[in-house]
Structure 1
Amino acid sequence: MKKEKSIILGLLIAASLLLATGCDMGGGTPAVTYAIGDTGPSGVGIVFYVTDGGLHGLEAAPSDQSTSQVWIEGGSTQTTVNGNTSTAIGTGLANSNAIIDQAEHTGSAAQVCRNYTGGGLNDWFLPSKDELDLIWDNLVNDGTNSNNGVGGFDESNYWSSSEGNSSNAWSQTFLIGLQGSVSKDNLRRVRAVRAF
Structure 2
Amino acid sequence: MYIVFEGMVGSGKSTQSKKLFEYLKAKYPTRNIIHVREPGSTIIAQEIRLLAQSRVFEEDMHHLTEAYLYAAARAQLLNTVVKPTIEAGGIVVADRSFVSSLANQGEARGLGLDIIMNINKEAVGNVLPDMVFCMHIDVDESLTRTSDATGDKFEKLGREFYEGVQRGYEKASKLPILEKAWRTIDSHGTQDQVFAKILNVLPENM
TM-score, scaled to structure 1 = 0.29
TM-score, scaled to structure 2 = 0.28
More strand by share: 1
Bigger-Rg structure (1/2): 1
Greater relative CO, 1 or 2 (CA 8 Å, sep 6+): 2
More helix by share: 2
